[in-house]
Chains A and B, each alone.
Chain A
Amino acid sequence: SQQGEEDPQALSIQEGENATMNCSYKTSINNLQWYRQNSGRGLVHLILIRSNEREKHSGRLRVTLDTSKKSSSLLITASRAADTASYFCATGSNTGGFKTIFGAGTRLFVKA
C-alpha cells in the first residue's frame, strides 16, 4: 500500500489564487519530495525536504514538514493555468535502497 496520502484528492481554484495540498505518511523518513505530473506524462521533481528541515522554498512553491505529525504541505502561490496537474508526495527512507513511496496524488485544476 502507498505510504503517502495526499489531501485533498482534487482541488479546483481560480488563476491567481493559492493552492495548498497536504500529505500524511506513516513511518519515519529520511526525506519527503513533491512531484508534478501533467496528464499522460512522466513525473517532474519539484522539491525535496529532509527530515531535519521544517520549511523550504523554491520560486512559487513552499513546502513544510512536520515530522512529529508525519505530515507535509505544498503551497503554490499565485497559481497559473499551467500549474494544472497531479501532485504527488513521495517519502524516502534510508533502508539501504532508498526506496521511494508515492501517494495517490492531488489533482489540481487551475481555471483561467
Chain B
Amino acid sequence: DTGVSQDPRHKITKRGQNVTFRCDPISEHNRLYWYRQTLGQGPEFLTYFQNEAQLEKSRLLSDRFSAERPKGSFSTLEIQRTEQGDSAMYLCASGDRAYNEQFFGPGTRLTVL
C-alpha cells in the first residue's frame, strides 16, 4: 500500500496522559499536514511541514501539542496532558509541491476518558 498511513487507528487514554501519533506520508511527497476533525465538522488545520521544516501552526495547536518531522519523512504528533476536549479524529495528509491536492490517511481516533 503506497498511500498515507497512520498509527494507531484508535487510541483510548485517560485524562492527563500523553499520547503520540505517527503518520507515514506518500514517500515522494515533501508536504505533510495534520488536521483535527470532530463529529459533524470539517477538518481543522493544525500544522504543516515542508520537508523537515514546520512552516505553519494553527492557533488551535496549544502548548500541549507538538509535531515533528525529523528526517522529512514520517511525522509524529504528541499531545501532552490530554483533556477530554482533545477527543477527535486526527488526520494526516501529504502532498506534492506542484499541486495543492492532498492525500489523506485513515486517521487516528482519540478518545480521552
Contacts and interface: CB of A to CB of B under 8 A. Distances in A.
B85 interface: no
Contacts of B33: 100
A25 interface: no
Contacts of B44: 2, 102
Chain A contact patch, size range: 20 to 34
Does more than half of chain B's interface fall in helix, strand or loop, or is it mixed?
strand
A97 B46 CA distance: 12
Contacts of A101: 45
Interface string A91-112: 0100011111111110000000
Interface stretch (B14-22, B63-71, B73-81, B104-112): B104-112
Contacts of A81: none
Interface string B36-71: 000011111100101000011000000000000000
A104 B102 contact: no
A105 B43 CA distance: 10
B100 A31 contact: yes
Interface of B: 4, 31, 33, 35, 40-45, 48, 50, 55-56, 91, 93, 95, 99-107
Interface of A: 2, 4, 30-31, 33, 35, 41-45, 48, 88, 90, 92, 96-105
List of 3 A-B pairs having minimum Cβ-Cβ separation, nearest first: A102-B42, A97-B56, A42-B104
Given A97-B56, A104-B41, 4 more contacts: A4-B42, A33-B100, A48-B99, A102-B43
